[in-house]
Chains A and B, each alone.
Chain A
Amino acid sequence: SQKIEQNSEALNIQEGKTATLTCNYTNYSPAYLQWYRQDPGRGPVFLLLIRENEKEKRKERLKVTFDTTLKQSLFHITASQPADSATYLCALEDDKIIFGKGTRLHILP
């Protein structure tokens, strides 16, 4: 069956360190993968999109990698700040957009 999996456990990272979130998928061949941020009580906000022919994408302190062989995307936040605390969702395109369940990230001061 098709699956898209993110760390179900919350991730606690010390301020200033790099936070790394994982998105794994099976039985999909997405043309691209996206990452969104969601704060409590609000809708998801788009952060980055990476296409299947791109290995890495950066935006300010954010970096996304996409390994189609491993069927995995990694989302990195460098120099993390308490304001980065949120739930992060990955989403892939498979005819329609399919979202993972998200990983809660806590940046500890």
Chain B
Amino acid sequence: DAGITQSPRHKVTETGTPVTLRCHQTENHRYMYWYRQDPGHGLRLIHYSYGVKDTDKGEVSDGYSVSRSKTEDFLLTLESATSSQTSVYFCAIGSSSAGKGTDTQYFGPGTRLTVL
């Protein structure tokens, strides 16, 4: 998985609790991304980072926040988890040739989150 780890790999939590997912890379890539994947919706971008302390919103950012204090770590926080946030969350990394995009993304193994 191209030097990307995600933790935890599985989590069950209750509605209203805060949850933080961690993505760690050893590739020194500038760009990091958080996606969620749901049946019928495919992969949807939540937030992304284009450098330390530089982040921006994706398609489905409501209810999520992110932080990147070091190149290697990108945290996704659900401030108050809801059942609609039950999903599989993927972190990805990439380098960029231009703009905010990236030529290729390398994905982590995913975190399966269940909000009861």
Which residues of A pack against B, CB within 8 Å?
31-32, 34, 41-46, 49, 89, 91, 93-102
Contacts and interface: CB of A to CB of B under 8 A. Distances in A.
A47 B45 CA distance: 20
Contacts of B106: 46
23 contacts: A31-B101, A41-B110, A43-B107, A43-B110, A45-B107, A46-B105, A46-B106, A89-B43, A91-B105, A93-B99, A94-B101, A95-B100, A95-B101, A96-B45, A96-B58, A96-B100, A97-B33, A97-B101, A97-B102, A99-B35, A99-B42, A99-B44, A100-B42
A6 B87 CA distance: 21
B58 A46 contact: no
A32 B42 contact: no
A23 to B, nearest CB: 12
A94 B42 CA distance: 17
A89 B42 contact: yes
Leading 6 A-B pairs by shortest Cβ distance: A43-B107, A101-B42, A99-B43, A93-B101, A46-B104, A44-B107
A102 B42 contact: yes
A89 B101 CA distance: 17
